[in-house]
Amino acid sequence: MENLEFYILLLFVIVGALVAVETKNLLSAVICIGAAGFGGSLMFLFLRAPDIAITQIVVEVLALVILIRVTISRDKTFISGDWELVGVIFSVGFLLIIFLAGIKVFDSLPEFGSPSFVANSELQDTASQHYIEHGVNDTGAANIVTSVILDYRAYDTLGEATVLFTSIVGAVIILRKHSRTPLEIGS
């Protein structure tokens, strides 16, 4: 199999995720998520996406700091594993059906090695072909991914920066101490 490294890495991420879901100790669950994330970032590197690999590792570090902050300070790290059978059986069965339906679907996607702008480039001139050929001339940036982010699709990145801004203001609101003014009107 020619892209063997992807299978190994994806298997590693899946095993890490499974262990994170099933383990009893919260802290080890968070560590497994971290390991799965680093496996994913390695996979990005092998998939020729260095930008994403850097961002994934660094975001992974901060996510781990946030997650560990939650689990370590709480004394109760062990969760009572009460398996109520009916809910688990029903959801596992339901998810199995979705998975089988999903498997059949992926053959309509272009084969793994050839991206979509190569596979159906005869339908119409796709945007990615334009980005690769005229990326440097149009925007002057050598890194085509940055030129796509900040010039061709800069509106996405404005939305992106606003998403981060909203979640930070939201977190500040939720973590504030006094939520209601002392003068309660009417109650």
Interaction between residue 113 and another protein (CB under 8 A)? yes
- Local structure of residue 112 (DSSP, 8 states): T
Q: Name the token pair of 85.
A: 């059978």
Half-sphere exposure of 119 (CA within 13 A, CB side): 9
- Local structure of residue 76 (DSSP, 8 states): -
Backbone angles phi, psi at 169, to 5 degrees: -65, -35
Interaction between residue 71 and another protein (CB under 8 A)? yes
With CB under 8 A, what is the number of residues at the site for another protein?
136
Closest CA to 18 of 28, 32, 34: 32
Binding residues among 116-175 for another protein as defined by CB under 8 A:
116-121, 123-128, 130-133, 135-175
Interaction between residue 25 and another protein (CB under 8 A)? no
Judge contact between 128 and 117, C-beta under 8 A.
Answer: yes
Interaction between residue 180 and another protein (CB under 8 A)? yes
Interaction between residue 5 and another protein (CB under 8 A)? no
Binding residues among 35-54 for another protein as defined by CB under 8 A:
36-37, 40, 43-44, 47-54
Interface pick for another protein out of 4, 86, 87, 93 (rule CB under 8 A) = 87
Rg (CA), the chain: 23
Interface pick for another protein out of 4, 86, 93, 185 (rule CB under 8 A) = 185
Interface pick for another protein out of 4, 86, 92, 93 (rule CB under 8 A) = 92
